[in-house]
Amino acid sequence: MTTVRSAEVAPITAGDPVIGLKEATKAFGGTLALRNVSFDLRSGEVLALLGENGAGKSTCVKMFAGVYQPTLGHVVWDDQPAVFGSPLDAQRSGIAVMHQHPGLFPDLSVAENVFMGHMPQLPSGGINRVAMRQETASLLASVGLQIDPDARLGVLRTSEQQLVEIARALSQNARVLIMDEPTAALSQREVVRLFQVVRDLKQRGVAMMFVGHRMDEIFTISDRIAVLRDGVLIGVESRDSLSRDRAVQMMVGRELSALYPKNEAAPGDIVLETRRLARTGEFEGVDLTVRKGEILGLGGLVGCGRTEIARVLFGIAQPTSGSIRINGKEMQFAGASAAMAAGVAYVSEDRLGQSLVIDFPIVDNAALTMLDSTTTAGFSSRQKVLDRVAPHLDRLQLRFSSYDQPINTLSGGNQQKVVLAKWLATGPQLLILDEPTQGIDVQSKAEVHAMIADLAKQGMAIILITSEMPELLGMCDRIVVLREGRQTAEFSRSEATQEKILRAATDSEPSEPAPRLTPGDATRAAPIAQMAPRPGWSGLLAKREMGLVAAMLAVVIPVAFINPLIFSAVNLTSLAMDASLLMIAALGQMLVLVTRNIDLSVASVIGLSAYGSALVMTGNPSIGIAAGILAGCALGLACGMFNGAIVTYGRVPAIVVTLGTMSVFRGIDSLWTGGRQISADQVPQAWLDLTSARVLGVPLMIIIAVAIMIVAAVLLRRTATGREFFAIGSNPSGAELIGIPSRRLILLAFSIAGLLAGFAGALWASRYATIDARVAYGYELTVIAAAVVGGVAIRGGAGTILGVAFGALTLLVIRNGLILVRVDPLWLQGVYGLVILAAIGLDALVSHRATAAASTRRIR
């Protein structure tokens, strides 16, 4: 058996097997996810993989992707057994994978997401951003997405992010393309465009596997169909020889009743009525009426305003004009709780991001919508929750082992059943369902449809938002079609057809004949939107750092009237040198924070390194100041590596590790000093001159700090490794899926942070001369605050070097100003904290407005 490492192989003939599974079995503990499965993917062909949720489809995908290795049997590559030891191995071999839950990085740009893991390089080793942007624009155009490649991915809608995932797979120019639920969040037109891309890849001889639940798509795009049930391969047949009914029967082991049950309920009184409802930049002039027992469908392309309307109806967002009436009473929802009190429930399209807490068990997720009514004296009653939610879970036939089972261990279909049940338990009058069957299997879909029809029969008013045309036509009594935020048509069940809905959703003139959407339409994409010229003052004011500048001015200006010494050369020099030390330490903290970790031991490392450096210079005055600096750096590096090793290889949370080592390192320092103190007269003068020296009138320490920050900024911004640090923090699981060496990079981040803390300790020993066991005591909070105030996200994935520099300056300017106006020391920390909170609040407000403005421009 060989380990595959390179995609450099001989050309293959159309129809030849490229990759496959040979008698593959995969066990997780005592559970068999796959049993003795064999099939292959052939060049120039699409194999569709069918099966219910939990049938083993994703396990097959992950074995091809190098995430899993078979317990028994093997993966076959070019007729030879092969081992893909990691996702990176699979990628290097020429396998591209579009995972069911896209492993994208919301804090990075679209272009960085497309090429993460294989960024084009300049001869110098840096990222070729021009080439990356141009190629990204071309790939986005091929999948029909008009967005600036430099846009932050986090501002894109779910469907747009899915198209970015497709573009990323195409960027690898792979021999094998695995597509796991690629159309779940796509509109009809986007699906057609994707299928044209697939047909083009077939012509180039790419072997493909398509995993999906929509039968129309399966029988449109596939050449052969493989069916799994309970981890066993039921069969592989050609598309032409397999009927849809037979495929469903193979999947579920029995015949399936009608997928779209007819709503027999007679519409009753009006439950919801909107008049000229609008929200600037999202939708306008929307008039909706929904009656008891009626299912109203909202159709249109993804991004037409359907979800935005739902969010306004549920109080998540506020309308800018128009009215909402519930049971004839005009309502103004200040938030989701007010909408819930009025009898409105909303099932979001993003069940993982907005509807579930994936680490919580089923019962705790179910309780989230009923906390007020199931809580007594501040304690939630488990029995009350189960009494209300269990009947709905039983009706939906939830497959689970116990109510304490973590929600992330359920299949996608069963997760969606929990979401539906928890909202039904609130007893709503109006139920808004946004893509309720997205990413779930045929059996679960039938159960959800039966429940929707039953709820309507019982008199509930329902709004159904779906991008799946058969579902829209099969489930809805009336269909309202939207285009670019405007209501363009309304059809009854008897009037609605696919052609009419597509015309209303896409045509600029409704009176024109209805076009039929063909594969050729997909290639006629509009040109990629060019990046608008960067605004002048408005762009500057949108910078996060401007909030920090405002905070500094808010301190400096009034202090200057009270004590003009704030502008004295001595004060400014001292402030700049203190800021230099803080910037160096905060830079290391930033590296750790962007990987979604934290280092609470930084001050202890600074103190330990400061004493070690001073001790080296005291005992060996003739060896030169470089030895003292190296001693401090070595101590810091050792501490950082120790922290990183426990976090990465011991898999212990960083906050726990560094909380412990904070005391351990400080204890070592105390034992080492033994109560002794090193003073200025015990070290050579050259050591003291290190930080007091000037170059062209500028203190050397400031020059050193600025140089370090500039080098760090270049490396983090311009190199692939630098961007991978941010990717790890933005989406740790996504980084693993595409083969980023997360553990190695997190260890590197802690090591560099330790090295920088050690260097800061050596400079501290030179600047302050008098060194004992209490050096930098309590300084860790200042270091962490400098990074966080500067815009480094505690959740990881975001931050800038410039922000860290401004954060350090802001904290020290505030402290300096308070000291100069002689604030009582008892008040100093309180005022200091309040001003920090004000700076963060102002910074967050500026950032929020900039993001909202970008989102509005994108919608328009």
Q: What percent of the chain has pLDDT over 70?
A: 85
pLDDT in tens, 633-644: 999 999 999 999
Q: What is the mean pLDDT of the chain?
A: 82
Q: What are phi and psi of 696, to 5 degrees?
A: 55, 35
pLDDT in tens, 465-494: 988 778 888 899 999 999 888 999 999 988
Alpha-carbon span 653 to 660, nearest angstrom: 11
pLDDT reported for residue 168: 86
Buried b (16+ CB within 10 A) or exposed e, 211-231: bbbbbebbbbbbbbbbbbbeb
In one-letter notation, the amino acid at residue 780 is E
Q: For residue 513, what pLDDT band results from cuts at 50, 70 and 90?
A: very low
pLDDT reported for residue 358: 72
Helix (H) or strand (E) holding 324: strand 321-326
pLDDT reported for residue 273: 94
pLDDT in tens, 684-717: 888 888 888 888 888 888 999 999 999 999 999 9
pLDDT reported for residue 842: 58
Does residue 8 register a pLDDT over 50?
no
Burial class (CB within 10 angstroms; exposed 0-12, middle 13-18, buried 19+) of 490: middle
Higher pLDDT, residue 833 or 65: 65
The three-class DSSP label of residue 258 is coil
pLDDT in tens, 564-573: 888 888 888 8
Structure token digits, residue 815: 């402290």
Structure token digits, residue 594: 């962007």
For 52-66, 726-740, 836-850, which range has the lowest pLDDT when averaged over its residues? 836-850
In 7-134 the beta strands, taken as DSSP E runs, fall at 17-28, 31-42, 46-50, 72-77, 80-83, 95-98
For 42-56, 386-400, 558-572, which range has the lowest pLDDT when averaged over its residues? 386-400
pLDDT in tens, 314-344: 998 899 999 999 999 999 898 888 888 899 9
Q: What is the dihedral of CA 503, 509, 510, 511, to 10 degrees?
A: -120
Q: For residue 351, what pLDDT band results from cuts at 50, 70 and 90?
A: low
pLDDT reported for residue 204: 85
Does residue 201 register a pLDDT over 60?
yes
Alpha-carbon span 631 to 619, nearest angstrom: 13
pLDDT reported for residue 855: 45
Does residue 509 register a pLDDT over 50?
no
14-18, 296-300, 585-589: range with highest mean pLDDT: 585-589
Structure token digits, residue 568: 């004295």
Higher pLDDT, residue 378 or 618: 618
Distances (CA, A) of 700 to 266, 609, 707: 83, 20, 10
pLDDT reported for residue 828: 63
pLDDT in tens, 795-812: 888 889 998 998 899 888
Q: For residue 590, what pLDDT band results from cuts at 50, 70 and 90?
A: very high
pLDDT reported for residue 514: 33
Conformational region of residue 151, where left means phi above 0, alpha means psi within -120 to 50, and beta covers everything else: beta
Does residue 541 register a pLDDT over 50?
no
pLDDT reported for residue 840: 60
Burial class (CB within 10 angstroms; exposed 0-12, middle 13-18, buried 19+) of 721: middle
Q: What percent of the chain has pLDDT over 90?
A: 32
Q: What are phi and psi of 279, to 5 degrees?
A: -140, 120
Residues whose CB falls within 8 Å of the CB of residue 222, separated by 6 or more in sequence, listed in order: 46, 47, 48, 210, 239
pLDDT reported for residue 305: 87
Does residue 117 register a pLDDT over 70?
yes
pTM of the entire predicted model: 0.71
Higher pLDDT, residue 539 or 556: 556
386-395, 400-409, 585-594: range with highest mean pLDDT: 585-594
What value does the mean pLDDT take over residues 271-295? 92
Alpha-carbon span 52 to 412, nearest angstrom: 10
pLDDT reported for residue 547: 64
